[in-house]
Structure 1
Amino acid sequence: MLYSILGIVLLISFITDVRKRRILNIVTFPAMGIGLFYYTLTLGWKGFLFSGAGLLVGFALLLIPYLLGGMGAGDVKLLAAIGALTGTSFVLYSFFYTALIGGVIGLILIMKRMEFWKFFKSPTYTLYSLMNLKGFKFNNESKLTYPYGVAITFGTLCAAFIGGIT
């Protein structure tokens, strides 16, 4: 049951983050509440601690990147909701996969911005660019961003289907 709710939360968050660059509180807060309520109802105090610890760990994992301006508050709350629904161990695996996927997406976007594909089209262009360091200039005025909810969604799906690394 909770994995169905998790799937719905991820789907809605993925769509709204891609379309509007927002992860909605109306999705994340009820998910946190459902996780806390369900585990408390079924396991009592231990269940509350299980879900609450997952919520706090999920929140803490993305708090520093948020405070440094690297992501939005919705991303932090989404990982906290994942923690509340699944517990500490799962949210740690989810975070691990999210970081890997987010890093790959970021690297692809940086390579796209640098027009890295030109280096493979022409050996002459590659040599010329390397000699003049052309193509390695960044426009410092524009920030490279992408909806991190995409990485969180795929990272969580990897944690669900692949599981932990042993």
Structure 2
Amino acid sequence: MIYSILVVTLLLSFYTDIRSRKILNIVTFPAMLVGLIYYTITLGFEGLLFSSAGLLVGFLLLFIPYLLGGMGAGDVKLLAAVGALTGVTFVLHSFVYTALVGGVIGLILLIRRLEFKEISPLYLLSFFYLLKNLTSGNDDKPRITFPYGVAITVGTLCTFFLGGMT
């Protein structure tokens, strides 16, 4: 049952993030609450700790990037909901897959944006150049952004289907 809630939460968030660039509180907060209540009822105080710890870890993993303007609050709350529904270990594995998926998406978007005739191969290989172009915009080229809920959804589903990384 809890994984059904997880999948519905992810798919709804994926859809709304693609359509409107928003992950809705009406989706994430009930998912957090369901995780907390479910584990408390089934496992008692240990279950409450399990779900609370997952929620807190999921929240903290994306809180700093949110403070730095790298993502929206909905992304933070979505990963917190994943943690509340699955616990610390699962949300940590999801975060790793999410970061990998997000990095690949970001790199693809960056490569599509770059005009290769203007760049020497040395700059193309430079991590700092890529990072600078991903995170800062200038007047003619706006900052590259994408709905990070997509990466969270795919990363979490990778954890679900592929298992944790050991």
Asked if TM exceeds 0.5, the reply is: yes
> What is the CA–CA distance in structure 2 between the aligned matches of 1:49 and 1:130, rounded to whole Å?
53
Q: Which residue is equivalent to 1:69?
A: 69
> What is the CA–CA distance in structure 1 between the aligned matches of 2:51 and 2:5, rounded to whole Å?
15
Q: Which residue is equivalent to 1:130?
A: 120
Q: Which residue is equivalent to 1:140?
A: 138
> What is the CA–CA distance in structure 1 between the aligned matches of 2:120 and 2:90, rounded to whole Å?
44
Q: Which residue is equivalent to 2:95?
A: 95
Structure 1 residue 129 displacement after superposition: 5.3
Q: Which residue is equivalent to 1:52?
A: 52
> What is the CA–CA distance in structure 1 between the aligned matches of 2:151 and 2:58, rounded to whole Å?
15
Structure 2: segments with no counterpart, 5+ residues: 124-128
Q: Which residue is equivalent to 1:121?
A: none
1:134-160 CA-partner distances (Å, limit 9, x unpaired): xx9x65231110000000000000000
> What is the CA–CA distance in structure 1 between the aligned matches of 2:49 and 2:115, rounded to whole Å?
49
Structure 1: segments with no counterpart, 5+ residues: 117-124
1:61-115 CA-partner distances (Å, limit 9, x unpaired): 0000000000000000000000000000000000000000000000000000004
- SS state of the match for residue 55, structure 2? helix
The size of the alignment, in residue pairs, is 153
Indicate the percent of aligned positions where both proteins have the same amino acid.
Answer: 68
TM-score normalised by length of structure 2: 0.87
Aligned alpha-carbon RMSD (Å) = 1.9
TM-score normalised by length of structure 1: 0.87
Name the amino acid aligned to 1:98. T
Q: Where do 4+ consecutive residues of structure 1 move more than 6 Å? A: none
Which structure: larger Rg? 1
